[in-house]
Amino acid sequence: MNYSSIPAAQTVVLHCKAKGIRDIVISPGSRNAPLTLGFTEDPYFNCYSIVDERSAAFFALGMAQQLQRPVVALCTSGSALLNYYPAIAEAYYSAIPLVVLSADRPFYKIDVGDGQTIRQDHVFDRHIGYSANLRQDVSHAKEKVKKYAPQNIIGNVKELQESIQSYNDNELNKALNLAYDQRLPVHINVPFEEPLYGKVVEPIVSPKVEINKKEATVLPELDTFVQHWNSAKRKMVLVGVNFPNLIEQQFLDVLAQDPSVIVFTETTSNIHNPEFFPSIDSIIAPIEKSNHENQLFGDLQPEILLTFGGLVVSKKVKAFLRAYKPKQHWHIDELRANDTFFALTHHFKTKVNHFFTSFLPRVHNVESEYADYWKGIKLAYEANRKTYLQSIPFSDLLAFKHIFDKIPEDIQLQMANSSTIRYAQLFDSKPSVEVFCNRGTSGIDGSVSTAIGASIANGKQTVLITGDLGFFYDSNGLWNNYMKPNFRIILINNDGGGIFRILPGLEKSANYENYFETTHNLNAEHLCTMFGLEYSSVNDVKSLENELGEFFGSSIIPKLLEIRTPRILNNKILMGYFDFISSGIINHIH
């Protein structure tokens, strides 16, 4: 087995190996050659080559999302590194341990007019868990160091190199341990002087690797919280982004049976019970249209709000809980708690199952009409939704209905942002379907790349549902050799950013269409030909039903189904949906 001859490169590779980091997504370059050699020459590592750094970072993020452990994105020096930023921000806000490794030029060649050279140190400091800027070796290329930075090589070179090795070990331990312990992205910047391609057959360094031992979390005394819970007649549980099968079902079932508790979930919550409320906006939007808005929101307002999971998609539930604040808001997470509703009163720093194991045996069902009242409204809107969907023409909403009807059991579903995830919120997903979406920054920029990376790490069939802008924006995500034959893309193409048509106050003009909606006449057929996907297209209900019947079946290459929907009509049908189901709220007053 070969190693790079550069000590810092060996050190980085050996630290990753010692800490169990196996998956390395490499964007080709020259300055990162020492690290590329070290990773690719060692069969311990699974290495992937992705040319476009933005796509590569989201590909790595998708893998880390599924594996729930750090994955490396490795690039060369210069602007290549800056292309990682969107994925780093997403990882930061989604608590995904992405490890960014960047090769750098020697410090003495920065800001002197050298090519492919920028200020790489601390470049992500506002959105990173830790920035490690390693020191440059003096035992490698020491004549060049003497020539360009003689002040850095005064004295005994061996002692200087030992000091550098100790510093680099310490920085790598800090960065990689934090990625594991805090579930945050980290950046490790490594300067290299030429020559870059030298190899040795045995390592010349013995890194000092430290692995943190996590201490068990200790719950606070729960007596007061149990008393509050047992005396409250209106309790709301709201679950954000949540990894599948993370919460024990027995705890969820206990919450579902309490008449004083309603559980609001989202598509990305990945928890299920027939008593839960999986379409939050279908409850709240009709209240906003009601003449009894204050009364209804007052009836919905919880005394205690209990939250867990990551970020919440529904803007409506955020607006509601900020205006009608709970008396107490408790959040459960072993690391962090967002004060999303400006009402946070306690953060239980523990895992959800640990909390419920201690808490639920001590609480009891409270007599209340809270759950039954809102379950009645839920049944009313579900009946009206069924009627409405039978009456509308082909559109985004109807397409999503048929997609969710036909989605197979036991798959991984990756959702793009903007209108895609919001339409998905209106439909129930099957309990065996695992749902993911980049909700950290809610951007459209990396959905294709994330889904393909996730498909590599997850053994199930992966289906990406995306809108046209998100798909075309990240079409470079298709530029790789790792798409599995069972990978599927469903592309909803309504010729632009149709979600902007539902925003109030925007004049429908040529400027609106150019700068907000960004209309186009693109289709994905030629992209599919170039990147090796089987392509099909539909534009009505009958053809959609026919295609979906075969679409998820086995194939020798991945498939893309493009669904063309009417740009002008979609927003009217969506707004009409909320108007139509409103009677289920208005006619259900106390």
3-state secondary structure 262-274: EEECCHHHCCCCC
Contacts 24+ apart (CB under 8 A), 272-277: 272/431, 275/371, 275/375, 276/252, 277/374, 277/378
Share of the chain above pLDDT 90, in %: 84
Across 183-309, the runs of DSSP E, i.e. the strands, are 186-191, 199-200, 235-239, 261-264, 304-308
pLDDT of residue 519: 73
User: Is residue 191 one of the residues assigned to a domain?
Assistant: yes
pLDDT of residue 515: 58
Q: Is 349 helix (H, G, I), strand (E, B) or coil?
A: coil
For the segment 463-479, the average pLDDT, to the nearest whole number, is: 95
Work out the pLDDT band at 249, boundaries 50, 70, 90.
very high
pLDDT at 60 exceeding the cut of 90: yes
pLDDT of residue 468: 93
Question: For residues 421 and 192, what is the distance between their CA atoms, to the nearest angstrom?
Answer: 43
Amino acid occupying residue 119: R
Residues 12 and 157 in one domain: yes
For the segment 572-589, the average pLDDT, to the nearest whole number, is: 78
- Average pLDDT value over all residues in the chain: 93
In this structure, of 89-98, 267-276, 520-529, the range with the lowest mean pLDDT score is: 520-529
Residues 422 and 451 in one domain: yes
Name beta bridge partners: 560: 489, 535
User: Is residue 387 one of the residues assigned to a domain?
Assistant: no
Residues 186 and 302 in one domain: no
pLDDT of residue 423: 94
Better-predicted residue by pLDDT, 290 or 504 = 290
pLDDT of residue 498: 58
Token pair recorded at residue 96: 């995904």
286 prior amide bond cis, ω within 30: no
Question: For residues 303 and 255, what is the distance between their CA atoms, to the nearest angstrom?
Answer: 16
Q: Cβ distance 164 to 137 under 8 Å?
A: yes
- Among candidates 571, 581, 522, 580, which has minimal Cα distance to 396? 571
pLDDT at 236 exceeding the cut of 70: yes
Token pair recorded at residue 109: 């060649």
Residues 290 and 354 in one domain: yes
Work out the pLDDT band at 489, boundaries 50, 70, 90.
very high
Residues 437 and 495 in one domain: yes
pLDDT of residue 501: 53
Question: For residues 97 and 90, what is the distance between their CA atoms, to the nearest angstrom?
Answer: 11
Question: For residues 475 and 98, what is the distance between their CA atoms, to the nearest angstrom?
Answer: 22
In this structure, what CATH number is given to the domain that contains residue 479? 3.40.50.970
pLDDT of residue 584: 57
User: Is residue 157 one of the residues assigned to a domain?
Assistant: yes
Question: For residues 35 and 24, what is the distance between their CA atoms, to the nearest angstrom?
Answer: 10
Work out the pLDDT band at 500, boundaries 50, 70, 90.
low
pLDDT at 99 exceeding the cut of 70: yes
Helix axes 396-406, 567-581, angle to 10 degrees: 70
Residues 264 and 363 in one domain: yes
Output phi, psi for 115, to 5 deg: -75, 155
Q: Which of 332, 348, 377 is the last residue of a domain?
A: 377
Residues 8 and 127 in one domain: yes
pLDDT of residue 516: 63
Element (H, E) at 132: strand 130-133
Q: Which of 377, 406, 423 is the last residue of a domain?
A: 377
pLDDT at 26 exceeding the cut of 90: yes
For the segment 74-84, the average pLDDT, to the nearest whole number, is: 96
pLDDT of residue 167: 98
Question: For residues 43 and 250, what is the distance between their CA atoms, to the nearest angstrom?
Answer: 42
Token pair recorded at residue 134: 């390693």
pLDDT of residue 518: 74
Q: Which of 377, 411, 440 is the last residue of a domain?
A: 377
Share of the chain above pLDDT 70, in %: 95
| Matching residue, tokens 């150019």 | 514
For the segment 335-361, the average pLDDT, to the nearest whole number, is: 97
pLDDT of residue 512: 57
- Among candidates 167, 130, 172, 133, which has minimal Cα distance to 19? 172
Task: Give the tens place of pLDDT for each residue, 143-187.
Answer: 899 899 998 888 899 999 999 999 999 999 999 999 999 999 999
Pairing of strands 235-239, 261-264: parallel
Report H helices in 360-493: 370-389, 396-406, 419-424, 447-457, 468-473
Helix axes 293-300, 315-323, angle to 10 degrees: 90
For the segment 338-352, the average pLDDT, to the nearest whole number, is: 97
Name beta bridge partners: 488: 463, 559
For the segment 403-431, the average pLDDT, to the nearest whole number, is: 95
- Among candidates 179, 60, 74, 101, which has minimal Cα distance to 438? 60
Q: Cβ distance 231 to 368 under 8 Å?
A: no
Question: For residues 137 and 128, what is the distance between their CA atoms, to the nearest angstrom?
Answer: 25
pLDDT at 74 exceeding the cut of 60: yes
Total structural domains within the chain: 3
User: Is residue 384 one of the residues assigned to a domain?
Assistant: no
pLDDT of residue 539: 95
Q: HSE-up of 266 (CA within 13 Å, CB side)?
A: 27
pLDDT of residue 571: 87
Chain-centroid distance of CA 432 in Å reads 19
For the segment 337-363, the average pLDDT, to the nearest whole number, is: 97
User: Is residue 206 one of the residues assigned to a domain?
Assistant: no
Element (H, E) at 74: strand 71-75
Helix axes 541-551, 396-406, angle to 10 degrees: 30
Residues 371 and 398 in one domain: no
Q: Domain residues for 296?
A: 223-377
Residues 560 and 486 in one domain: yes
Amino acid occupying residue 270: N
User: Is residue 588 one of the residues assigned to a domain?
Assistant: no
Q: Cβ distance 253 to 273 under 8 Å?
A: yes
pLDDT of residue 505: 55
Chain-centroid distance of CA 428 in Å reads 20
Q: Cβ distance 313 to 266 under 8 Å?
A: yes
User: Is residue 577 one of the residues assigned to a domain?
Assistant: no
pLDDT of residue 567: 79
Name beta bridge partners: 190: 103
In this structure, what CATH number is given to the domain that contains residue 363? 3.40.50.1220
For the segment 400-429, the average pLDDT, to the nearest whole number, is: 95
The alpha carbon dihedral of 265, 270, 276, 280 has a sign of positive
Task: Give the tens place of pLDDT for each residue, 183-197.
Answer: 999 999 999 999 999
pLDDT at 502 exceeding the cut of 70: no
Q: How far is CA 5 from CA 8, 26, 269, in A?
A: 9, 19, 48
pLDDT of residue 142: 87
For the segment 404-424, the average pLDDT, to the nearest whole number, is: 95
For the segment 38-42, the average pLDDT, to the nearest whole number, is: 97
pLDDT of residue 503: 57
pLDDT of residue 460: 95
Residues 408 and 373 in one domain: no
Helix axes 280-289, 293-300, angle to 10 degrees: 150
Residues 139 and 264 in one domain: no
Amino acid occupying residue 462: T
Token pair recorded at residue 1: 């087995």
Q: Cβ distance 415 to 437 under 8 Å?
A: yes
Question: For residues 125 and 59, what is the distance between their CA atoms, to the nearest angstrom?
Answer: 22
Pairing of strands 199-200, 3-4: antiparallel
User: Is residue 310 one of the residues assigned to a domain?
Assistant: yes
pLDDT at 452 exceeding the cut of 70: yes
Residues 360 and 402 in one domain: no
pLDDT at 240 exceeding the cut of 90: yes
pLDDT of residue 154: 86
